[in-house]
Amino acid sequence: MALLLAVFASILAACNAKSLLSYVKSCAVKKLKLVCKPLPNVRVEMESETGTAAVGVCWGMSGDNLPPASKVTEMLRENGFTVVRLYAPDSAALAALGGTGIRVVVGAPNYDLPALAHGGTAAAAAWIRENIQAYPTVLFRFVVVGNEVAGADTQLLVPAMENVHAALAAAGLGHIKVTTSISQATIGVHIPPSAGEFTDEAKPFMSYVIPFLERTHAPLLANLYPYFIYSYNPGGMDISFALFTASGAVVQDGEYGYQNQFDATVDALYTAVAKLGGENVRVVVSETGWPTAGGVGASVENAMTFNQNLVRHVRNGTPRHPGKKTETYVFAMFNENLKEAGVEQNWGLFYPSTDRVYPISFHARI
């Protein structure tokens, strides 16, 4: 997510005349008064890739005052989460998640990429033994090799993914899909979604990532934040387009009308992926959310509005993919005090005390 802030300006500069800000700014959108209404109780669940849509949560650990793993696991269950994302294979978290029925998306962190890429299947097999096979009662869903990998490390990405994939297959764990999580900053054109494509910097490595995912039937994970698109230039977009509160289509893309930025970005990514041969690659939103403080448009009211509307919305698909439910992970479980001061510390659904930052219900069936 930090990478997104650093490079978003350069991406906008590289976009064509229909770039995100100019296109959205040209749309006549009436300013809407934001009213936060409680959603009906919502159960967050997942059955399969073609079953009920999932809204999971990202369990970050950049804090020195966070609850113990056993308590966090209890909170996940109490709040109806059936899937969780871990950025690294934390032993306490994995031990606590074992036997709970909660499915786990686990990261192979960026610092593991050199060993996984250069060490062949032997290094990958050792990683799998230590971090996957050592927890036989954990329901692993994906292994995410790298998060927002950039620069020279992108050359390590697919070799590492190939080795992890081979090691899982050799261990009889081929049902666990291997993927990576990319930054929103890799998308060079967001608007219109039909013109979506990766940046020139991202195309060289994504042209290898996408065929790997297509061949192995794995999804592409992406950290997508309408908040950052809005906050970079709040004068270029009505906030209602970011918060799912616009009263009608803001962006018209041929026959498809877009009422929110989330759908527009997801469909732009689908278009970009298809251009690299990934017509059958599913997009999973591995991070999204809204901060409660520390930045432009960051407030408890807006965070509650975005996340409640998100939970209700993702089961519907997008204009270009209606009925194709979007598996999505809310960032984040907690406010994390060891992150950079400001907006980065204020994404949590919960305080470290385990109190809710704002009311949001995940308990009854959609």
Amino acid, res. 181: S
CA gap 172, 366 in Å, rounded: 35
Residue 67: both structure tokens together: 């609850």
pLDDT, position 279: 98
Q: How confident is the model at residue 361 (pLDDT cuts 50, 70, 90)?
A: confident
**Which of 45, 197, 287, 344 is flagged as catalytic?**
287
CATH architecture entry for 2-345: Alpha-Beta Barrel (3.20)
pLDDT at 15 over 50: no
Average confidence (pLDDT) over 144-151: 99
User: Do 180 and 145 touch, CB atoms closer than 8 A?
Assistant: yes
pLDDT, position 50: 39
Other C-beta atoms closer than 10 Å to the C-beta of 17 total 6
Q: Is the dihedral of CA 309, 313, 314, 317 positive or negative?
A: negative
Amino acid, res. 253: D
pTM: 0.87
**Which of 148, 327, 336, 344 is flagged as catalytic?**
148
User: 340 catalytic, yes or no?
Assistant: no
Q: Where along the chain do its domains lie?
A: 2-345
- In this predicted model, which residue has the larger pLDDT, 345 or 366? 345
User: 148 catalytic, yes or no?
Assistant: yes
pLDDT, position 1: 55
Peptide bond into 332 cis (omega under 30): yes
Q: How confident is the model at residue 366 (pLDDT cuts 50, 70, 90)?
A: very low
Of residues 273, 235, 218, the one with CA closest to residue 49: 218
